[in-house]
């Protein structure tokens, strides 16, 4: 992890490995400070606090969660008594998608030799993902700390004259997707609406909505964007990600019309210039999302996690690349 100052009062803590769970956090260091997203486990959250602690005068009393995924909310509990601000959908969604018990059980099982053999026979993708997570994460001790201040479409903070705009843009990657714009400093904290130099994973929402949101970020004309995952960027970040999603949707359409399954399509579609991004086999999820749209399924159609991680595993194996999530 590294701390970067991105403007006069805005900072980021970046997770350089840029694999699943390696989320970034932000800090707007005005009027007592606002922390944006709180990391995937308590050790990473503590490290983030230590890094931001070099620039803030005290623990901030405000936290913003950009969406409901575990890797952005599991350090919330360390900000005791803080106001946690998020979209109104997030408390209920967190209980479903960020319940720490399942992940705790999974890592304990994968860490245990016999359980690992049993799980592997059924779900090689779950074992591979679990082993990767064990390299960096320990989900023990995590308890959900739910948002306390909720908003609908927009929420504004005034931090000693510096305006902060929370803009609801979901669902494109997840139900609660929110971007945070600091106009005076030309900074956007994008959450997982933006993945940088790693293959995007989207759970709930549509391609159209995602394109609209990336266009909105470009229109805001920020100088610096803090992505949910990956290094800092300017507007080339959303431009490149939109091009990736357009490419995948177009290629998926061709495969869909030929009658290929989404898994076989993901084994065949060229990675093109995106082969260098982390975890290219996560392409499967973007193909599957496109297929769901072609079949007229709703944007909140549920995912079978085990099947999804197995499919990514299969795509990587079929293409002879490293299995990475
Ligand atoms: Zn994330």
pLDDT tens, position by position, 14-67: 999 999 999 999 999 999 999 999 999 999 999 999 999 999 999 999 999 999
- pLDDT tier, 113 (very low <50, low <70, confident <90, very high otherwise): confident
- pLDDT tier, 116 (very low <50, low <70, confident <90, very high otherwise): confident
Mean pLDDT, rounded, for 106-115 = 80
CA of 19 to the centre of ligand 1 (A): 9
Q: 117 pLDDT exceeds 80? A: no
Q: What is the 3-state secondary structure (H, E, C) of 100-160?
A: HHHHHHHHHHHHCHHHHHHHHHHCHHHHHHHHHHHHHCCCCCCCCCCCCEEECCEEEEEEC
Q: 10 pLDDT exceeds 80? A: yes
In this prediction the pTM is: 0.96
The C-alpha angle with vertex 121 and arms to 117 and 125, in degrees rounded to 5, equals 95
Q: 106 pLDDT exceeds 90? A: no
CA of 133 to the centre of ligand 1 (A): 14
The pLDDT mean for the chain works out to: 96
Which tokens sit at 269? 């579609």
Q: 288 pLDDT exceeds 90? A: yes
Neighbour tally for 319: CB within 10 Å: 15
- Residue pair 40/137 in contact (Cβ under 8 Å)? The answer is yes
CA of 259 to the centre of ligand 1 (A): 32
Confidence at residue 114, expressed as pLDDT on a 0 to 100 scale: 75
CA of 157 to the centre of ligand 1 (A): 24
Confidence at residue 285, expressed as pLDDT on a 0 to 100 scale: 98
CA of 211 to the centre of ligand 1 (A): 18
CA of 11 to the centre of ligand 1 (A): 18
Mean pLDDT, rounded, for 278-291 = 98
CA of 22 to the centre of ligand 1 (A): 7
Confidence at residue 1, expressed as pLDDT on a 0 to 100 scale: 96
CA of 235 to the centre of ligand 1 (A): 20
- Residue pair 10/24 in contact (Cβ under 8 Å)? The answer is no
CA of 178 to the centre of ligand 1 (A): 13
CA of 258 to the centre of ligand 1 (A): 33
CA of 229 to the centre of ligand 1 (A): 6
CA of 72 to the centre of ligand 1 (A): 6
Q: Give pLDDT tens digits for 191-219.
A: 999 999 999 999 999 999 999 999 999 99
């Amino acid at each position: 992890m590294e701390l970067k100052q991105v403007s006069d009062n805005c900072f980021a803590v970046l997770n350089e490995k840029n694999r699943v769970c390696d989320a970034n956090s932000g800090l707007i260091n005005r009027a007592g400070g606002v922390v944006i997203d709180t990391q995937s486990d308590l050790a990473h959250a503590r490290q983030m606090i230590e890094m931001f602690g070099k620039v803030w005068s005290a623990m901030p009393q405000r936290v913003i969660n950009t969406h409901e995924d575990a890797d952005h909310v599991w350090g919330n509990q360390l900000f005791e008594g803080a106001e946690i601000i998020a979209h109104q959908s997030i408390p209920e969604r967190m209980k479903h998608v960020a319940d720490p018990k399942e992940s705790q059980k999974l890592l304990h099982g994968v860490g245990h030799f016999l359980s690992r053999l049993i799980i592997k026979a059924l779900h090689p993708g779950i074992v591979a993902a679990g082993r990767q997570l064990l390299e960096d994460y320990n989900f023990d001790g995590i308890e959900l700390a739910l948002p306390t201040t909720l908003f609908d479409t927009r929420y504004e903070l005034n931090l000693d004259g510096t305006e902060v705009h929370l803009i609801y843009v979901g669902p494109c990657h997840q139900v609660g997707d929110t971007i945070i714009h600091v106009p005076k400093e030309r900074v956007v904290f994008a959450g997982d609406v933006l993945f940088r130099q790693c293959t995007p994973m989207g759970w709930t929402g549509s391609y159209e909505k995602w394109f609209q949101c990336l266009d909105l970020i470009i229109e805001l004309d920020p100088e610096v964007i803090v992505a949910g995952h990956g290094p800092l960027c300017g507007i080339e970040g959303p431009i490149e990600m939109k091009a990736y999603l357009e490419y995948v949707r177009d290629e998926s359409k061709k495969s869909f019309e030929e009658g290929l399954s989404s898994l076989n399509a993901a084994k065949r579609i060229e990675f093109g210039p995106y082969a260098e991004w982390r975890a290219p086999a996560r392409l499967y999820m973007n193909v599957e999302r496109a297929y769901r749209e072609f079949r007229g399924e709703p944007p909140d159609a549920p995912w079978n996690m085990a099947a999804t991680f197995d499919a990514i595993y299969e795509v990587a194996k079929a293409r002879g690349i490293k299995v990475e999530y």
